[in-house]
Chains A and B, each alone.
Chain A
Amino acid sequence: MGYQSNLKQSTHSDNAKILLTYVAKHKTKFFLLLAIILSLNTHWMVLREWHMPTYGNTMIHIASARHVVEHGEYPLIDYSYGGGIANLYVPHYRMLVATTSILTGFSLDFTSRMLVLLFAILLPLGFFLLTRRLFDENTAVFAALFSILPGEMLIYTVRPLPQALGLILLPIAFHAFLGRKQFLMFFLAFIITFTHQEAVAYLFGAVGVFLAFTVLHILWRLFVSKQFNHQIHSDLVRKSLFLLVLCISVYLLWQFIMIGHINVFELAQFKNHEGNTVSLDSYLLKTGNLVVSFSLLGLLISLSFLLRNLLSDVNNISAEMKGGIFVFFTFFASALSSFFILNGFSLSRNASFVSISFPIFLGPLEGTEIIFISIVVALFFVFVIKALFEKSKSFMKSDKIAHLFLLALFFAGFFAVKNDAVGIRVFMDRFLVYLQQPLIIFASLGANGIVEFVNSLRK
């Protein structure tokens, strides 16, 4: 009996080992599948009502698609506001709905809802691809999972809208931009330009900011570090310029053909300043606590990475001084971030009293307590960052270009959301969902930073 019991125990233990080995070996696929299932779960509500959602002018796209289905041509005259005006809205999404309906025989309503479910599958995959290109597979898995969380992302991808297609295509286009498949990049940029105006505006802005960063990087390399790599930098500048010219010229050509001028500021959305300002409360609500908190951590990791690289390029400062500057900056930035979160996402002291009730009860916190906790958190963060740099084999070894590109996406999104600050005042709230793209990747960088830190301790 004793022998048999030992044998059974050993078999169970072997099976458990095999299972664990199998899960560990296929963990990326497992988590990707989980992300897709969760994304489908959140988008499933599009099938709930007797009619597809109509909020967000969804039916105007159905009108153009129906015209294609019934007449075999794209309508150049719009059906909007009594008709008689040019159909300025870019046509790709509408053509996609029409051709899918023709090919499948499904109604336009059902086709639109099925496309939403397809977008739900592609959403985590796009973030996975882009983040894997930027960093590594583990960070990419987090990005796939986090892409499901922001409320605004769901609001814009669960309705049958061109925005949804644009949001799905953008990470894939950025992935192509950073890779070697230039034809795919230009093709996707062309598709996005004809899919949605805001999506192409964000693509244009992000690549524009990245071009500016690249030029600054080149100047730094030329005059400070003296390590200019002609091939990498000229390739980035060339790609960025081509992409900018392609997006702007294709869209303006379309607008000129349709309405005879290229002045976008003449459009009603600009003249009437359509859109609302984004308050901190709406940003937090529509982005979600997890993405907001982890993205702040990811942003700090990214900035620390760039600072460390910049400092390593400078020759006339001692190693001790470099270490001091690095620690000071990291400590200060993380203390400020911690204070910002604990102080009810505000920098003005005692703006609100945060009560932490899970997993331990702390609070309501007062100003001095928040400062004390922030100092402890910042010290811990400095320890984490130093451990990541010194002990993690892969995490902090990513390319500087990846961090610069992610920061470019962030600044383009941030500027678009706060365009009211420079007097443009159009679609600030509509651009929040584009800002959430880099925030999701920053959040995944932050979350994987924690995992890597735990791993480095274990080692």
Chain B
Amino acid sequence: MGSGRIFISPGVARILTFAAFALVLLVSAAAAYFFNEDMNKAKWQSDAWMNPVITQKEERAMQWVRENTVEREVFVTDIFGGEHLMGETLREGTEGGDWAIVPEVVPRMSDVNEFFKTSDSAKAHEIAKKYGANFALIPDRQLFAGFEWLSPDRSKFSNSDYFEMVYQDGEMQIFEIK
């Protein structure tokens, strides 16, 4: 007592030790629970970004592109199609890539968006030529040209005065622009 220490009997000490041990276990379990919950939330958030968007038919079409066109040939593409095309074949899409110093980039996006949406062959042809494209890459998926996800109107390509289909694998099509 003189030293200022509190005397605890062995029984009480055992109970206190057990309580401390249980508390540590409880806190550790709670920490592990919240850690696991946050980690799973992070995985869930990232999961959506893993989708490659492009299709396997699109990937197979790159073989034809390499064999039948020259490097830096321009294709009408959406953003994902253009970036896939440049990465796999060193060809260029009307869209896709770093837009930091691209002149008039927003009107370009608007035009390419219209190219995919319109059923007017002449209008689509004019847009393609405006951006120096000799081919159009129309994949078997929805397209994103900067404003909205859309299904391309394929009816415009039936006009043989402007377009000729040069590659087909189901709905994956490549058209030459005359």
Residue numbers of A with Cβ under 8 A of B are 38, 42, 45-46, 48-63, 66-67, 70, 78-83, 85-86, 88-89, 108, 145, 148-155, 158-159, 259, 267-269, 272, 285-286, 288-291, 358-359
Of A53, A62, A89, the residue contacting B87 (CB under 8 A) is A62
Within 8 Å of chain A (Cβ to Cβ): is B101?
yes
CB of B98 within 8 A of CB of A289, answer no
A212-B131 Cα distance, complex, nearest whole Å: 49
A35-B51 Cα distance, complex, nearest whole Å: 26
Of A67, A151, A153, A358, the residue contacting B41 (CB under 8 A) is A151
Q: Which 5 A-B pairs have the closest CB atoms?
A: A80-B97, A59-B87, A62-B87, A151-B45, A59-B83
Give chain B residues whose Cβ lies under 8 Å from the Cβ of A63: 83, 86-87, 90, 97
Q: Which residue of A lies closest to B52 (CB)?
A: A51
Give chain B residues whose Cβ lies under 8 Å from the Cβ of A88: 98, 100-101
Least Cβ–Cβ distance between B158 and chain A, in angstroms? 26
A89-B100 Cα distance, complex, nearest whole Å: 9
Give chain A residues whose Cβ lies under 8 Å from the Cβ of B152: none
Given the interface pairs A42-B42, A59-B86, A288-B42, the reply to whether A80 lies near B49 with Cβ below 8 Å is no
Given the interface pairs A54-B83, A78-B97, the reply to whether A83 lies near B39 with Cβ below 8 Å is no
Given the interface pairs A79-B92, A81-B97, A82-B93, the reply to whether A42 lies near B86 with Cβ below 8 Å is no
Give chain B residues whose Cβ lies under 8 Å from the Cβ of A66: 87-88, 90
Given the interface pairs A60-B96, A149-B38, A151-B42, the reply to whether A79 lies near B52 with Cβ below 8 Å is no
A298-B38 Cα distance, complex, nearest whole Å: 18
Q: Which residue of B lies closest to A65 (CB)?
A: B87
CB of B51 within 8 A of CB of A57, answer no
CB of A290 within 8 A of CB of B42, answer no
If A59-B96, A155-B49 are given as contacts, then 4 extra A-B residue pairs at C-beta distance below 8 Å, sorted by A number, are A63-B90, A81-B97, A151-B45, A154-B42
Given the interface pairs A81-B96, A88-B98, A158-B49, the reply to whether A54 lies near B80 with Cβ below 8 Å is yes
Interface of B is mostly: helix
Give chain A residues whose Cβ lies under 8 Å from the Cβ of B101: 85-86, 88, 259, 267-268
CB of A81 within 8 A of CB of B46, answer no
Given the interface pairs A79-B86, A82-B93, A149-B38, the reply to whether A155 lies near B102 with Cβ below 8 Å is no
Residue numbers of B with Cβ under 8 A of A are 26, 30, 33-35, 37-39, 41-47, 49-54, 56, 59, 72, 74, 80, 82-84, 86-88, 90-103, 105-106, 108, 131-133
A108-B88 Cα distance, complex, nearest whole Å: 9
Give chain B residues whose Cβ lies under 8 Å from the Cβ of A86: 101
Give chain A residues whose Cβ lies under 8 Å from the Cβ of B74: 82-83
CB of A49 within 8 A of CB of B51, answer yes
CB of B98 within 8 A of CB of A60, answer yes
Give chain A residues whose Cβ lies under 8 Å from the Cβ of B92: 79-80, 82-83
Least Cβ–Cβ distance between B168 and chain A, in angstroms? 21
Given the interface pairs A51-B59, A66-B87, A154-B46, the reply to whether A272 lies near B106 with Cβ below 8 Å is yes
CB of A145 within 8 A of CB of B35, answer yes
Least Cβ–Cβ distance between B43 and chain A, in angstroms? 6
Least Cβ–Cβ distance between B24 and chain A, in angstroms? 8
Of B38, B50, B87, B105, the residue contacting A46 (CB under 8 A) is B50
A288-B99 Cα distance, complex, nearest whole Å: 32
Least Cβ–Cβ distance between B71 and chain A, in angstroms? 9
Of B39, B47, B95, B96, the residue contacting A38 (CB under 8 A) is B39
CB of A154 within 8 A of CB of B102, answer no
Give chain B residues whose Cβ lies under 8 Å from the Cβ of A155: 45-46, 49
A89-B97 Cα distance, complex, nearest whole Å: 10
Give chain A residues whose Cβ lies under 8 Å from the Cβ of B51: 49, 53-55
Q: Which residue of A lies closest to B80 (CB)?
A: A54
A291-B37 Cα distance, complex, nearest whole Å: 12
CB of B41 within 8 A of CB of A288, answer yes
CB of B46 within 8 A of CB of A54, answer no
Q: Which residue of B lies closest to A67 (CB)?
A: B90
CB of A80 within 8 A of CB of B38, answer no
Of A50, A80, A285, A291, the residue contacting B52 (CB under 8 A) is A50
Of B38, B72, B91, B95, the residue contacting A81 (CB under 8 A) is B95
Could you pull out 19 A-B pairs where Cβ atoms are within 8 angstroms? A45-B43, A45-B47, A53-B51, A53-B52, A55-B51, A59-B84, A60-B86, A60-B97, A81-B105, A83-B74, A149-B42, A151-B42, A151-B46, A158-B49, A259-B101, A267-B100, A268-B100, A268-B101, A290-B34
Give chain B residues whose Cβ lies under 8 Å from the Cβ of A59: 83-84, 86-88, 96
CB of A285 within 8 A of CB of B45, answer yes
Least Cβ–Cβ distance between B147 and chain A, in angstroms? 13
Given the interface pairs A49-B50, A82-B92, A154-B42, the reply to whether A359 lies near B30 with Cβ below 8 Å is yes
CB of A57 within 8 A of CB of B54, answer no
Least Cβ–Cβ distance between A123 and chain B, in angstroms? 12
A66-B34 Cα distance, complex, nearest whole Å: 43
CB of A148 within 8 A of CB of B39, answer yes
Give chain B residues whose Cβ lies under 8 Å from the Cβ of A269: 99-100
Least Cβ–Cβ distance between B56 and chain A, in angstroms? 6
CB of B93 within 8 A of CB of A42, answer no
Least Cβ–Cβ distance between A113 and chain B, in angstroms? 11
A48-B46 Cα distance, complex, nearest whole Å: 12
Of B44, B45, B54, B72, the residue contacting A83 (CB under 8 A) is B72
Least Cβ–Cβ distance between B130 and chain A, in angstroms? 10
A358-B29 Cα distance, complex, nearest whole Å: 12
